[in-house]
Structure 1
Amino acid sequence: MADGFLMEVCVDSVESAVNAERGGAGRIELCAGLIEGGTTPSVGLLQVVKQCVRVPVFVMIRPRGGDFLYSDREVDVMKADARLAKLHGADGLVFGALTEDGRIDTELCMALLAVCRPLPVTFHRAFDMVHDPMVALETLISLGFERVLTSGCDSSALEGLPLIKRLAEQVSTPHIHPLVCCSPRAEMLPTAQSSQPMSEET
């Protein structure tokens, strides 16, 4: 943690997780398939990462790359993966699901949240594909997500800072924390931190 900000780092290997912790990460988001935006990691990877780092490890639950519309069978896979991640030491879980018209899939999210609890849950960058981010944020708050990952519905957090600031201002309760998706380039962090009042970034 630096200057009051908790830094979460997305990794896809044991070595990357160890290096992230050494570099100051306060939390790990563990994925596979980063080139696809992150998919569910193996149980073996989770087990070894948990043995090697002390910071919390949040596990991505995403059965494939591509869009965030899931079939019933894919939902079954996501539920099974969430149960396995909990069983093998995940400190939190990360997922997201949308409807065809770009809204939060509340029915699917409620079903997955029931499986994920009592662990904290982050809604991932599917948020950046929603039709109306302000409405979507209220939906996530009502569903009980603890965090939402976003770059302000833009190509980078710096480009999306105006929306990120609006989202942060809309959060009038401590029930959800927007996580700002930032470039790993250190020189970009002061701008992101000074431009919005959030306490976490990834």
Structure 2
Amino acid sequence: MKRQGASSERKRARIPSGKAGAANGFLMEVCVDSVESAVNAERGGADRIELCSGLSEGGTTPSMGVLQVVKQSVQIPVFVMIRPRGGDFLYSDREIEVMKADIRLAKLYGADGLVFGALTEDGHIDKELCMSLMAICRPLPVTFHRAFDMVHDPMAALETLLTLGFERVLTSGCDSSALEGLPLIKRLIEQEVV
């Protein structure tokens, strides 16, 4: 992780959606938590930004003020994390209401895409909640975030996400880093392509 003052930037591996604009089919998305980091990411060649807060907690929803100024400061797409708190990916009814409100606000303030994830207690994708949140997100593209790395069965989870209409999945291959999780990432990509 590269630290710059109080902010940080992380490069993350993503399963390509087949819609990438880069010649090799991959885009470089950089996770940032400040305006300065967003500007630096764009200068450094990032194709897209994932805007978060609370990176030490795995990423939480950023303030709408940060989103507004980031959108004024960069030309590349900005995808916004929707996660009311760190910790697990099981959400209470009140947290779900916060997520819905945050999605509406992120769209209002110019988000180019949204990033979220929700699981059930037994480690499966929370289909009902994901469908409910995706309905509010549309027509923006939606990425399922690193909650994916906590699922019980990654191959089945990917099928579920594709069926639900997620365009992207953020994963480290269910390991501590994308490099260590590369074997699973390759299997997931092959499954999506087939």
C-alpha distance in 2 between matches for 1:69 and 1:2? 35
C-alpha distance in 2 between matches for 1:168 and 1:32? 29
C-alpha distance in 2 between matches for 1:161 and 1:33? 26
Aligned to 2:28, the other structure's residue is in SS state strand
**Match of residue 136 from structure 2:** 115
The amino acid that maps onto 2:126 is D
C-alpha distance in 2 between matches for 1:9 and 1:172? 24
TM superposition outliers: structure 1 runs of 4+ over 6 Å: none
C-alpha distance in 1 between matches for 2:176 and 2:54? 19
The answer on 1:8 being equivalent to 2:36 is: no
Q: Superposition pairs for residues 150-165 of structure 1, below 5 Å?
A: 150-165=171-186
Among 162, 171, 194, the alignment partner of 1:141 is 162
Aligned to 1:93, the other structure's residue is in SS state strand
Aligned to 1:148, the other structure's residue is in SS state strand
**Match of residue 19 from structure 1:** 40
**Match of residue 100 from structure 1:** 121
Percent of counterpart pairs with the same letter?
84
The amino acid that maps onto 2:76 is V
The amino acid that maps onto 2:99 is M
The answer on 1:59 being equivalent to 2:80 is: yes
Superposition TM-score, scaled by structure 1 size = 0.84
- Number of aligned pairs? 173
C-alpha distance in 1 between matches for 2:145 and 2:22? 23
Superposition TM-score, scaled by structure 2 size = 0.87
**Match of residue 50 from structure 2:** 29
C-alpha distance in 2 between matches for 1:135 and 1:153? 14
Shift of 1:172: 2.8
Shift of 1:3: 6.6
Aligned to 1:128, the other structure's residue is in SS state helix
**Match of residue 84 from structure 1:** 105
Shift of 1:2: 7.3
> For structure 1, which segment, 157-166 or 124-133, has the greater mean C-alpha deviation from structure 2 after superposition?
157-166
Q: Write the deviation string for residues 63-118 of structure 1: whole angstroms up to 9, x where unpaired.
A: 00000000111000000000000001000000000000000000000000000000
Shift of 1:162: 0.8
The amino acid that maps onto 1:118 is P
Root-mean-square deviation (Å): 1.2
Tell me: CA distance 1:142–1:53, structure 2 relative to 1, closer, same or farther (3 Å). Answer: same
**Match of residue 148 from structure 2:** 127
Unaligned runs of 5+ in 1: 174-202
C-alpha distance in 1 between matches for 2:143 and 2:108? 18
The answer on 1:42 being equivalent to 2:67 is: no
The amino acid that maps onto 1:25 is A
